[in-house]
Structure 1
């Protein structure tokens, strides 16, 4: 039913060998680490973490370390992520121009955290990193390529920074670095990288570009919100993103449209640019995935039910679509529906309808589920409670393709 992809995750331990955070590594569609475009690889990994698997499941609310190329600083990619949860690692030999250095300064001032890695401890430690150090929080040292005699100099050189020992292969190395003042440790002695699978629901690439261009052209947000009705997969990713990001998006929200308007133009542009950079449209297959088909079917059944009730309440249609999308987050995120709802800014009536099947919306949603399960008794009961004529049952049944 779902399209599964992977990335790799390796734990970073503290001095007591408790998990402090994780480093995440890009993997392509066949599970390989190679990539031609560093920015696209970073974007793909961020889309997977924010829009697909969700940060709670991926990191258990611990820091996420991600390697980036300095060219990423000239994009809006990092502006789409919650700064407090991420640490972006720059290579020590990164050549930062004036623009990159200014962006790094501004991001660090805004709460973004950065690491410096691949430091060549054999080439001396004086002066080389002074330009970057004011904006760096973590220093990552390759334990496999560093003489233990240099550890006191390293600790003194990077005083005030969080020191991470990488490629720690045996316990003796762990102990030596810990005794020298290092706080965090990564390597096979701490835990090998593990592939993590996630379920992917990709939006059409041209649809994402269309909405992004509408934003650039200054299209009013209410028109952009209406355009989102044509993009179920993108709307699903938006809900997952909100769940990961915990944006300040106050209650109540009864539709995707309300969420987008409150999200605002700039944040929406940052998020869409992340998806565009990831080039997710190039990886989707011809036709719709089974999950996309179920998403469309559930929305259509609920909308048809509302039409048969002869309701002219436009909000009811919008709320039904939002419910259908949220209900399918459970198989995608791998979280119980209640847990998925806890991070989403939705109206209490929608939450009760999803969890308790209460109210008119709950019965409409329950009818869609009963039709999918071919539960004839529940279908008859719910149709009666909604005041639906038996003659419409064949129409509703014909919409079920699963």
Structure 2
């Protein structure tokens, strides 16, 4: 049976948001990255090995142009020629300039970080650099450093500039330093497209005027309807966000969750200290809804495996949740804000004391004396609270605005 070709349409490629590869046929794929970037790749086999050829980002290469490029590459591969090598050989160069391939932004970044490893406080600092750049500047990471221009930098910064101002400011500064290093090494020319003064300051609002501190939260009365719509969406990102809402956990705690952390028999999820913001082990009571979500997933994976993964089997990016909000047409909401939604609900709709609510959020409450005597984590009282919250967001408790009457 002949394989279907031309599966995608011009409208489809513009509206696709699900991360992963989307086949057009005959080896041509549109790749949607976790951060929302879109690019074309052509997959082919040569000498028994599968190879990949980048055809450019969707913003500059249309569907018709991608098909044309893939067709030329396909013809070369059929003749036993490597289309990537053929493209490189055909690139025009002045006779006085030696042939060379510009390194990618990621290659320059790795070299830059390696050269400064001894000056940085610890390995975690280097990892933070790499994590922020690969997460929020994923499209830049794989792009030749000589081709990066202002629109590329803005495409990386704009999605997080208002929602995550401190992170965005760090990312911009790190991009600027990598591009400066690339210029010194002779890999690019001209002004730095990530510089702030006299350049991006005319396009982006000043960091000092951005909102800080509080994360925009969805009003708790709207969470049940949002959760209902979320449950209709497939994929690990939707299930991860659902569990985040049910447990009032932080994004990193959910995305880094491994199978052996959840004990279904005792209905407890134990988050290790190294993954907690406060550096203390945290036990999370699992409601029936949370157990129903986790049970089939845990049965299908190994004890050391991540519970939620991206299309490559790695940890989900925080950006996938933002993609869910866009698809659900929910504006101005942050993932961390669901913890605030939970906290507001506890205070407005239940009689549970402040200490229990704060313990559910893994917050330390009180002075040193109170903390010294309050060594317990009130697990069973918190279990009652999380069961009630799960019922509320699942609309199982009747009228959402009714005062909770569960005994403390």
Scaled to the shorter chain, the TM-score interval is under 0.3
More helix as a share of residues: 1
Q: Compute the TM-score of the two structures, normalised by the length of structure 1.
A: 0.24
RCO comparison, higher one (Cα < 8 Å, 6+): 1
